Structure 1
Amino acid sequence: MTQATFADGDAYEAYVGRWSRLVARAFVRRLAVPAGREWLDVGCGTGALTETVLATAEPARITGVDRSEPFVDLARARIGDARAVFQVGDAKALPLPDGSVDVAVSGLVLNFVPDPPEAAAEIARVLRPGGVAAAYVWDYADGMAMMRHFWDAAAALDPASAAWDEGRRPSVCGPDALRALWTDAGLQAVAVESVQVPTVFADLADYWEPFLGGQGSAPGYLRGLPDDHRAALRALLRTNLPTAPDGTIPLTARAWTVRGRA
């Protein structure tokens, strides 16, 4: 199985960070957590979810933890709010004591953790009694249209591309898997829902260029292709992608969310 790279925060923002912010707003709103709570953002990345919590949930404090030092540095630089603290750390060994937060959230991370049950157990560990644990992941198999179009075109030209396709791998990116992950971690009142957001691209360049940034599975696959193969893939996408009369490319992205209580 191939390994996705996440080291360039700006490239990640252009690729999927801008769309994850739309999901984050709906996700935090549905949690309906009262103001003044202590939050944890596991796998905070460039801070999209942390920023949404600060803007909409009135936390007393939120700690963002991520393994990528460049992402943590970008989050610190972008979010100048005294309520937010960022640390480099591992989702499987969170740098917080037992029962230390009221809400633990994670956005678009659990499928990249080598042992998701271990991460879920850590999330449950750091929650206070009655605390909320919630997460969301992209529906790579069917709901993330920008990636589905890319991988379908890639497979038409190169069947070996399937090794990079997140939607073809066993993962936690589905409702049953997410429910089991939270239940097995001992969380109660577990609920799973979907969130769908529009992902409208201005034109083919707006769709294609973020794939050149090298952040994630599809950009990682594309980076390793020779120039002629890359050009053929772009041409096939130009043919296959839906285009509106104004030249935009109207797609959608779906995420699955899970929440429960300690």
Structure 2
Amino acid sequence: MQNASLAKPVWLHADAYERYMGRWSRQVAPPFLRWLDRPAGQRWVDVGCGTGALSAAVLARCAPARVTGVDPSEGFLRKAREQLGDRAELHCASGDALPLAGGCSDATVAALMLNFAADPAAVVKEMARVTAVGGCVAAYVWDYGGRMDLIRGYWDAARELEPTVPSQDTGPRVALCRPEALAALFEQCGLAQVATRAVDIAMHFANFDDYWQPFLGGQGPAPAHAMGLPAPQREQLRERLRQRFAARAGDAFELGARAWAVRGIVAA
């Protein structure tokens, strides 16, 4: 299973990513880890660790023996080092070529990255390779095609203004935003006892700018689309979104979001 139709996003600016998506990943991480229910003293690997949201949650909640993070973006790793300090070992590498020995992990996890991998199966197989027999491989991705109001609202408004809006819209094109596809991927990669679950969170915005400004950071398909628009069209889209969200809910407002989580066990 490949994501060959996806344009490869450029992940460079960690602070912009934190404002756009990192802050919400931090809300998903605790219920995701509770669901995994791994014992203390385990070795964890965070694949596509980004700015360190999931690694930080592992350190805070799971009493790990060791946390290792891997990400291809040096910009994101700099932010992760700021946040994690010497509590995690960090490597710059892609998820399909982990610079780690086989069986070095008891729990190998990935947050919000499988749907952006050119070859998700290659990533999951690598995650399984570095995980000891009986260990857990797990991930979560946003439900782009369903309950991810922040992004769904953006693309719906963009399409209202331009019916032929380019195909950066992730929802209709990414099979891995659905639990059935995630389970099939993990089973295809040889994992046992595969299970999925939804993780729902509420996104609270202090005002409309709290929603809109992160789209100007260029990190991810929707922000890249926003920054590629001529200024008048971008302002028109901003006003359409303001009417859709802020005018309805006053100054502060809330949107819903769902992540789909998947886990499996490395069999002997």
Q: Distance in 2 between matches of 1:67 and 1:54?
A: 21
- For residue 89 of structure 1, what is the aligned residue in structure 2? 93
Match of 1:49 in 2: 54
2:240 aligned with 1:236: yes
Look up the SS of the partner of 1:96 in the other structure: coil
Partner of 2:3: none
Provide Cα deviations, 1:105-135, integer angstroms capped at 9, x if missing partner.
0000001110001111111111101001110
Q: CA deviation at 1:173?
A: 1.3
Residue pair 2:47, 2:108 contacting (<8 A) in 1 also: yes
- Figure out how many residues of one structure are paired with residues of the other and give that number: 261
**Partner-residue secondary structure (3-state), 1:163:** coil
- Tell me the CA shift for residue 162 of structure 1: 4.2
- Deviation of 1:242 after TM superposition, in Å, equals 5.7
Specify every segment of 5 or more residues in structure 1 that has no aligned partner in the other structure, as ranges: none
Counterpart of 1:17 (choices 22, 25, 29) is 22
What is the deviation of 1:232?
0.6
User: Following the alignment from structure 2 to structure 1, what is the Cα–Cα distance between the partners of residues 99 and 113?
Assistant: 17
Pair 1:65 & 2:86 matched: no
Aligned to 1:140: 144
- Please show how residues 116-195 of structure 1 align to structure 2 within 5 Å: 116-195=120-199
Q: Is contact 1:140-1:148 (8 Å) kept?
A: yes
- For 2:174, what is the secondary structure of its paired residue? coil
CA separation in 1, counterparts of 2:264 and 2:50? 23
Residue in 1 that maps onto 2:228:
224
Pairing partner for 2:116 from 112, 119, 129: 112
Q: Equivalent residue of 1:121, what SS? A: helix
| 1:9-47 Cα distance to aligned partner (Å, 9 max, x none) | 000000011011000111011111111110000000000
* Residue 258 of structure 1: aligned partner: 262
Deviation at 1:90, TM superposition (A): 1.0
| Cα RMSD, aligned residues only | 1.2
When normalised by structure 1's length, the TM-score is 0.96
Could you tell me the TM-score, scaled by structure 2's length?
0.94
Distance 1:180 1:245 in 2: 39
Q: Percent identity of the aligned residues?
A: 48
**How far apart, in 1, do the equivalents of 2:192 and 2:249 lie?**
48
What are the ranges of 5 or more consecutive residues in structure 2 without an aligned counterpart?
1-5
Query: Secondary structure at 1:128's aligned position in 2?
Result: strand
The 2-side partners of 1:162 and 1:151 are apart by: 10
